[in-house]
Chains A and B, each alone.
Chain A
Amino acid sequence: MILNNRIKDAFAAVHAEDNLKRDTKDFLSTRTASTVKSGNPIRLKRAVAFACLALILMIFGGWRFYMTPVSAISVDVNPSLELGVNRLDRVVAVDGYNDDGTDLAAFVDLLNLNYSDALEVLLNSQAMQSYMAKNDPVSITVIGSTKQKSEEMFARIRSCGYAKSPNVECHLGSHAEAAAAHEAGMSYGKYQVFLELQVLDSEITAHDIQNWTMRQIRDRINELSDGPNEPSSGNGFGGHGGGSGHGGNESSPGGRQNRGNN
């Protein structure tokens, strides 16, 4: 017998034992049952993918929920800034509406603080204290997500020590007015004082007072309120319509005030 055939015959005589085949089938049968019980692997993969997607959406949704401001607190001294407050009463945005406000927003870390604590930190900050020391009027305006929320925030702020300072004024505002203020490039508090001034000086524009401080606007209001009711264009202030008067010039209102007082 040639060696090739001997090798072939020898291998051919080797068979898998019956018990080996039986045990293997039993093992696979249990695996099939457990896999069927645990579900179709494709469905399982889809379920896992869906769960991951849901988790991502939850995280993203949670992040958006946290990061979306629904209320605002406008703080105006000379620095004008607005704190965006989320549904959890945490400050999630600090926007400066003039150079001082932008500097202050960058300098004082208010993010993620409760709005009441944030105001305390802000008003006690070194930068703000320099304005407070000059008795500059501080205007705090609360614009809540709802009327009830506005009142709740307003009451809470009013109860804090910083709100009891004589030169701090607290106001309630509305979203519509806040939108108009933002459109005019001002914080809510400054916009309100601007509107007050506009009643007395119909020709003055938002652009004119863009760089005025709150004190300058208030002084101008006082000047127009206390002085004779002369037309603003005729008071030697330079004419608002032409833009060559007090627009952008911080010394102008001061000059007017001095003249008025004199």
Chain B
Amino acid sequence: MRSEAEVNRAVDLYADTVRRICMVRLKSYDDTEDIFQTVFLKYLLSSAVFESKEHEKAWFIRVTINACKDLLKSFFHKRTVSLDEAFPINAELTEDHREVLEAVLELPEKYKDVIYLHYYEGYTAVEISKLLNKNVNTVYTLLNRAKGLLRKVLGGDDIE
């Protein structure tokens, strides 16, 4: 089991990453709180040794995505909430941020993870395929289709 100091460091370092995945995948703040407790408790109890910061971050991303999947599969999970509940009501969000995030959140579930992992975290399709345990070609397909959908909503051809 890890020390309290180690866990606090991890919360400070990876809370934003976990929060962004929760925003992409979940629909309520209550669920986000649950996921935070689940993910960091797993870290507390885990004896995994990380070779680097990148390795540790990938562990958090994978554990958070899996925890979200498990929560959504739960019978008792509250399935319908307003969009406002999902959004981080954050003073730093500009109109443009809101527009982009809303467009991402409106995407079908299967596209959200790849968009976040590719455009924010900077993972390649190969890395994403390993993280999500998907075929690389599937990841390429998901990325292309997600790009197309975002172009339609946000406009412009300048997405790479």
Chain A residues packing against B (C-beta within 8 Å) = 2-4, 6-17, 20-21, 23-25, 27-29, 31-32, 35, 40-41
Between A and B, how many residue pairs show CB distances below 8 Å? 108
Q: Are B92 and A7 in contact (CB under 8 A)?
A: no
Question: In the bound complex, do residue B119 and residue A23 qualify as a contact, i.e. CB atoms below 8 Å apart?
Answer: no
Residue of A nearest to B24 (CB): A11
**Which residues of B sit under 8 angstroms from A27, Cβ to Cβ?**
37, 41
- A32 CA to B6 CA, complexed, in Å: 11
The answer to whether B160 has its CB under 8 Å from any CB of chain A is yes
Q: Are B4 and A35 neighbours in the complex by a CB distance under 8 Å?
A: no
**CA A35 to CA B18, docked complex, whole Å:** 24
B93 engages A13 (CB within 8 Å): yes
Question: In B1-43, which residues have CB < 8 Å from any A CB?
Answer: 1, 3-4, 7-8, 11-12, 15-16, 18-20, 23, 32-33, 36-37, 40-41
Nearest A residue to B12, CB-CB: A21
What are 24 sample pairs from A and B whose C-beta atoms fall under 8 A apart? A3-B150, A3-B159, A4-B158, A6-B96, A6-B154, A8-B120, A9-B96, A10-B101, A11-B20, A11-B119, A13-B90, A14-B19, A14-B20, A15-B15, A15-B92, A16-B15, A17-B90, A20-B15, A20-B32, A20-B36, A24-B40, A28-B44, A32-B44, A35-B1
Instruction: Give the CA-CA distance A11 to B37 in the complex, in Å.
Output: 22
Q: How far is the CA of A40 from the CA of B40 in the complex (A)?
A: 19
List 14 additional A-B contacts (Cβ < 8 Å) besides A7-B104, A11-B119, A25-B11. A2-B158, A2-B160, A11-B20, A11-B101, A12-B120, A13-B92, A13-B94, A14-B16, A16-B36, A17-B19, A20-B32, A20-B33, A24-B36, A24-B37
Which A residues touch B33, using CB under 8 A? 20, 23-24
Q: Is B97 an interface residue (CB 8 A)?
A: yes
Cβ 8 A contact of B44, one of A3, A10, A14, A31: A31
* Contact partner, A32, options B7, B98, B159, Cβ 8 Å: B7
**Which residues of chain A are near B20, meaning CB under 8 Å?**
11, 14
Cβ-defined contact, B119 with A15, below 8 A? no
Closest to B150 in A: A3
Instruction: Give A11 Cβ to nearest chain B Cβ, in Å.
Output: 4
Q: Which 4 A-B pairs have the closest CB atoms?
A: A16-B15, A10-B100, A16-B19, A3-B159
Distance (whole angstroms) from the CB of A44 to the closest CB of chain B: 11
| Docked complex Cα distance between A20 and B88 (Å) | 11
CB distance from A68 to the nearest CB of B (A): 46
- In the complex, what's the smallest C-beta–C-beta distance from B99 to chain A, in angstroms? 8
Task: Tell me whether A4 and B160 are in contact in the complex, defined as CB-CB below 8 angstroms, given that A10-B101, A14-B20, A15-B19 are known contacts.
Answer: yes
Q: Is B156 among interface residues, defined by CB-CB distance under 8 A?
A: yes
A6, A14, A20, A27: most-surrounded residue (chain B CB, <10 A): A14
Answer yes or no: B139 CB below 8 A from chain A CBs: no
User: Would A6 and B100 count as touching, CB distance under 8 A?
Assistant: yes
**For B41, what are the chain A residues with a Cβ–Cβ distance below 8 Å?**
27-28, 31
B16 touches A16 (CB 8 A): yes
Taking a contact as CB atoms closer than 8 A, the residue among B12, B119, B158 that contacts A8 in the complex is B119
B120→A11 contact, CB < 8 A: yes
Distance between Cα atoms of A187 and B4 in the complex (Å): 73
Whether B97 pairs with A10 at a CB distance below 8 angstroms is yes
Task: Give residues 113-146 of B contacting A (CB, 8 Å).
Answer: 115-116, 119-120
